[in-house]
Chain A
Amino acid sequence: MGYHLYCVVPAGHAPSGDLRGLSGAEVTDIRVGDLAVWCSASEARIVPDLRRIRVHDGVIRKATTATVTPLPFRFGQWFPDREALGRELQARLDGYRQALDRVAGAVEFGVRLEALRERSAEGASRGSSEAPHGTGAGAAYLRALADRGAERDARLQHGGAVLAELNLRLEGRVVQVRVDRTPGRGSVASAAYLVRCVETGRFREAVEGFADGHVAFEFHLTGPWPPYSFT
């Protein structure tokens, strides 16, 4: 029988008997040394979709308590049998212990910045795409393309600078920061923060206060999450 993995926890932190994971299978814990893995039976590797991703994340959330922060597995970690699983886990115990110590008593937050485009800037951009007298449509198109690229680069640079400023402001309130070098479509900067549970209120206040002072950007604060980005 194969196993789909959810997270690593200290041994003794067992799932409740009624907790169900993917395909409605019971979530159980397999102990390896002083640690345990939450998993559920699955005959084959499971292909992800949105519903399954929510289930996977939901199990990890159930493992997150006031005293235990689990190490979440990325979706798709599957082993064909208990022996193979035990061998792999045994070989990585030291790393898991260190990671569990690092995230103990902490949760993850995400901050994503989107630039609010000013109407005047948009108007100017549209205007620049019109072909000046004596030039062809192709040249105008290429010029507009270059202008949009330059605008995008400028927004990314500005967003990165604002995020760096936020990170300076948050020093002492977070355990660790991970900045995404590729913030994704529509965003100009994003980062993940590992925050002690006792600091989450002050962390939120600090981010929201900072956002109030930077109206050129929309700040999306998400979390708390299990520490996916710090494993």
Chain B
Amino acid sequence: METTPIELEGPLGDVALVELVNRVLDRGVVISGEVVISVAGVDLLYLNLGLLLSSVETLRRQTEPRGEGA
């Protein structure tokens, strides 16, 4: 089996950096949990707030009604 990595994206410009973050945090296989960022010094639990880092696209997909009977 060929094991030499092929050359993918080179040095990242601003646009590619945005694309990288978007892809690594928002896409790919998901099998456990979500990425949650808590803010140090703010009592999120007391306020009953959760801060979920996600793209609008993902949230829209997850909150859209599924097909009938789902």
Q: Which residues of A contact B (CB under 8 A)?
A: 5, 7-8, 10, 12-14, 16, 45, 47-48, 50, 53-54, 56-57, 61-68, 71-79, 88-89, 92, 96, 99, 107, 110, 112, 180-182, 184, 197, 220, 222-226, 228-229, 231
For residue B25, CB closer than 8 A to chain A, the reply is yes
Whole-angstrom CA separation of A55 from B15 in the bound complex: 18
Chain A residues with CB below 8 A from B2, complex form: 65-68
Q: How many B residues touch A, CB cutoff 8 Å?
A: 35
Q: Which residues of B contact A (CB under 8 A)?
A: 1-6, 8-9, 15-35, 37, 53, 55-57, 60
User: A56: nearest residue on chain B (CB-CB)?
Assistant: B24
Q: Is the CB of A74 within 8 A of B26?
A: yes
Q: Is the CB of B26 within 8 A of A65?
A: no
Q: Is the CB of B20 within 8 A of A53?
A: yes
Q: Is the CB of A8 within 8 A of B29?
A: yes
Q: Is the CB of A182 within 8 A of B60?
A: yes
Our count of residue pairs bridging A and B at CB distance below 8 angstroms stands at 129
User: Which of B17, B19, B60 is the most central at the interface, judged by chain A CB atoms within 10 Å of its CB?
Assistant: B19
Chain A residues with CB below 8 A from B22, complex form: 184
Main secondary structure of the interface of A (DSSP, over half): mixed
Chain A residues with CB below 8 A from B6, complex form: 64-66, 107, 197
- What 3 pairs between A and B have smallest CB-CB spacing? A74-B28, A76-B35, A228-B23
Whole-angstrom CA separation of A3 from B9 in the bound complex: 27
17 new A-B pairs (CB below 8 Å) besides A50-B17, A72-B27, A231-B28?
A5-B31, A48-B25, A48-B53, A54-B20, A66-B2, A74-B25, A75-B35, A77-B29, A77-B31, A78-B33, A89-B31, A99-B29, A107-B6, A180-B57, A222-B9, A222-B16, A225-B9
Given A53-B24, A182-B55, also A62-B5 (CB < 8 A): yes
